[in-house]
């Protein structure tokens, strides 16, 4: 599909992109990047293969970082605010639909298709800009372009691991293509085709009731923190890195926060922080997998109770529960763990424990900042919200199947 940024510049005889068009283009790019963040948050829960979850977690953060960079520039440009008030319905539909893929392979295929379109428009815009007047956008767009190209290569590799292309997948990408043609491509300057695209029958994203894993992973008890302290080094590390692998629960919880924040009225930094937090938890789960494999053990179990008991709560309560409840509660264990591995002469475990400790201190800081922000002009204090969380927890605990206990 042709974006026509170059034609726009040629017709206007200015030799570059004027401010109002720059603003419009950047808003549209930012909207599409954020749609990818949302779609990836949904599919993170749904895709069963944990290695792929980790890979998609990295991509989610990449989209969030590009969104943040575009947003930063929009804040500097005259008239660059109020993105959502300025997105035309046809483009809004493209962003909203991206998540609705009928299956995993179609989703990856749709994501790859979107990345190709993003790369095309970033390249064309960067090349059409005036090297002095549009210098800032040009630098940003080339950075974004190389990042998008790297992500595309990775998604193409993921697609190769999947079964062969299906009719379903072709129908899905054709549908996305038609939607984008209605919007005049990502930049809105392409030729518009006015036909109303119809979503293929089987395409509808249903939010999974649980975090989905394939049958390599069983839902099991991970044992208490205290029970591991008296074990010999190898057994203790295996136990502790199983707990790291289980940080998929925190990543899943943040994926729901990211998903539900889609239309939240919050500063740019909020979206960056929740994506950063999410990605850190994905990496902590990856720390677990890396170290377990180094110790000759395959990751094989998770316990998602902490995630599941959060799911009946509003976004604010979920954020507060994770950052100012769980993460504060687990914090005293972090420095102990780093010191223990150092004393035992286990530098690999020490490295992961050290980075985790640092990341977790950030998470509590994010939590404090954004819970305060969300409680601005609210009659409740953080303590009131925590009390409400306890009530939600009681309802959850009372509805647990026999024999399951809440580790709160």
Residues at the site binding Fe ion, with contacts judged by CB under 5 A = 247, 281, 284, 360, 363
Work out how close the CB of 239 gets to Fe ion at its nearest, in angstroms, rounded to a whole number. 16
> Among residues 218 and 361, whose Cβ is nearest to Fe ion?
361
> Among residues 273 and 281, whose Cβ is nearest to Fe ion?
281
> Among residues 203 and 326, whose Cβ is nearest to Fe ion?
326
Query: For residue 363, what are its two tokens?
Result: 């998470």
> Among residues 169 and 281, whose Cβ is nearest to Fe ion?
281
**DSSP element (H, E) containing 125:** helix 104-128
Instruction: Report whether 382 contacts 324 (CB < 8 A).
Output: yes
Work out how close the CB of 54 gets to Fe ion at its nearest, in angstroms, rounded to a whole number. 14
Instruction: Report whether 268 contacts 74 (CB < 8 A).
Output: no
Work out how close the CB of 254 gets to Fe ion at its nearest, in angstroms, rounded to a whole number. 9
**Residue 378 CB neighbours (<10 A):** 11
Work out how close the CB of 298 gets to Fe ion at its nearest, in angstroms, rounded to a whole number. 21
Could you tell me where the DSSP H helices lie in 222-346?
Answer: 225-229, 233-245, 248-260, 268-294, 305-308, 315-320, 327-330, 332-343
Among 192, 315, 202, 327, smallest CA distance to 255 is for 315
Work out how close the CB of 241 gets to Fe ion at its nearest, in angstroms, rounded to a whole number. 13
> Among residues 101 and 272, whose Cβ is nearest to Fe ion?
272
> Among residues 5 and 338, whose Cβ is nearest to Fe ion?
338
> Among residues 8 and 287, whose Cβ is nearest to Fe ion?
287
Work out how close the CB of 365 gets to Fe ion at its nearest, in angstroms, rounded to a whole number. 11
For tokens 């829960």, name the residue. 45
Burial class of 178 by CB neighbour count within 10 A (0 to 12, 13 to 18, 19+): middle
d(CA 115, CA 123): 12
Work out how close the CB of 333 gets to Fe ion at its nearest, in angstroms, rounded to a whole number. 11
Task: Tell me how far CA of residue 239 lies from CA of 233, 327, 334, in angstroms.
Answer: 10, 19, 15
């Amino acid at each position: 599909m042709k974006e026509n940024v170059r034609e726009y510049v040629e017709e206007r005889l200015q030799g570059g992109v004027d401010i109002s068009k720059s603003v419009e283009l950047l808003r549209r790019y930012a909207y599409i990047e954020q749609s990818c963040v949302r779609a990836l948050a949904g599919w993170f829960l749904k895709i069963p293969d944990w290695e792929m979850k980790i890979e998609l977690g990295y991509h989610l953060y990449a989209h969030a970082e590009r969104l943040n960079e575009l947003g930063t520039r929009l804040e500097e440009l005259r008239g660059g605010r109020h993105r959502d008030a300025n997105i035309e319905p046809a483009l809004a539909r493209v962003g909203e639909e991206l998540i609705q893929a009928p299956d995993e392979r179609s989703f990856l295929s749709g994501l790859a298709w979107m990345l190709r379109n993003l790369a095309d428009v970033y390249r064309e815009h960067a090349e059409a800009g005036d090297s002095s007047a549009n210098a800032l956008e040009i630098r940003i767009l080339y950075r974004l372009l190389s990042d998008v190209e790297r992500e595309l290569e990775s998604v193409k590799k993921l697609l190769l691991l999947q079964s062969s292309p299906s009719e379903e997948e072709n129908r899905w990408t054709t549908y996305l293509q038609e939607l984008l043609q209605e919007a005049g491509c990502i930049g809105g300057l392409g030729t518009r085709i006015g036909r109303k695209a119809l979503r293929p029958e089987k395409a509808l994203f249903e939010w999974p009731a649980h975090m989905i894993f394939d049958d390599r992973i069983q839902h099991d008890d991970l044992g208490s923190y205290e029970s591991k302290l008296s074990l010999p080094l190898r057994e203790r590390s295996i136990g502790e890195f199983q707990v790291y692998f289980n940080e998929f629960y925190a990543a899943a919880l943040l994926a729901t926060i990211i998903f539900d924040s889609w239309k939240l009225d919050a500063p740019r930094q909020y979206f960056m922080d929740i994506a950063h937090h999410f990605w850190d938890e994905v990496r902590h789960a990856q720390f677990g997998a890396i170290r377990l494999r180094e110790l000759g053990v395959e990751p094989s179990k998770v316990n998602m109770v902490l995630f599941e008991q959060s799911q009946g709560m509003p976004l604010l309560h979920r954020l507060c529960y994770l950052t100012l409840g769980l993460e504060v509660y687990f914090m005293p264990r972090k420095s102990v763990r780093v010191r223990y591995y150092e004393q035992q002469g286990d530098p690999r475990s020490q490295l992961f424990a050290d980075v985790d400790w640092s990341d977790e201190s950030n998470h509590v800081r994010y939590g404090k900042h954004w819970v305060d922000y969300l409680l601005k002009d609210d009659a409740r204090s953080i303590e009131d919200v925590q009390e409400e969380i306890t009530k939600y927890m009681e309802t959850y605990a009372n509805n647990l199947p026999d024999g399951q206990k809440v580790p709160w």
